[in-house]
Amino acid sequence: MPALIVGNWKMNGLGDDIAEIAQMAAAGAGNGARSLWIAPPFTLIDRSVIVAAGAVKIGGQDCHVKQSGAHTGCVSAAMLADLGAGFVIVGHSERRRDKAESDADVRAKATAGCAAGLEVILCIGETRDQRGAGQTNDVLTSQLAGSLPDDAEALIIAYEPVWAIGTGLIPTLDDVASAHAHIRANLVARYGPAGYGVRVLYGGSVTPANASELLRVSEVGGVLVGGASLTAQSLLAITAAPP
């Protein structure tokens, strides 16, 4: 299975930045060795789908739990799919922190994304204090128990230690391997054999300089990239990182 490189643009990008996605698509980023997905802001999804022309999968950074209704300013998974999006990110630590999203909220969003026909990238991860207290595995187990949807189909997990996001810090490779092995064990316990088919990504200060070593870690099926995904030059360097 090709390693999956997912770029999360967060609240970045205006119309002129569509040119970056066009460059990614023109470079043939999804060339069989690595698959490239981009989650631009909602305002750029439809234009991104057009310029990506199928070479790069485009997705949303979040969705509402309901398909429609009186929820001013919100975007449903069905709306994302209607724009041509193929996936949605749910449970990112910034939303868990800034919007006080609970595991139950994340589970509902994951369920909504699956119901709309989207692949779902579900984020989990511990804070620095939790890691320092030796609670990483307990936190991951708790978040998975509360956040996972009923079905493993179309599900992807992203392990993002909160303290590594945007800080330039990353866990040791052994720590990454340990966390991913723990996540895999939880997925198999929850879903049975189907749990082996759920891809697990690593996210948190991924750069062209460290992508190769991270992608070689056992059970790492790809990476979720933040700031380094904003330009074609940077993200394509990650996509082209030596295996």
Give CA–CA dist 72/220, Å, rounded: 38
**Catalytic-role residue among 160, 180, 182, 219:** 160
Give CA–CA dist 158/47, Å, rounded: 26
Cβ–Cβ under 8 Å, residues 159 and 183: yes
Cβ–Cβ under 8 Å, residues 21 and 52: yes
Residue 182 annotated to the active site = no
Cβ–Cβ under 8 Å, residues 100 and 133: no
DSSP per residue, 112-149: HHHHTT-EEEEEE---HHHHHTT-HHHHHHHHHHHH--
Give CA–CA dist 164/182, Å, rounded: 19
- Report angle CA 208, 211, 212 to the nearest 5 degrees: 115
Residue 92 annotated to the active site = yes
**Catalytic-role residue among 64, 92, 180, 182:** 92
Q: What is the CA radius of gyration of the chain?
A: 17
Give catalytic residue positions: 92, 160
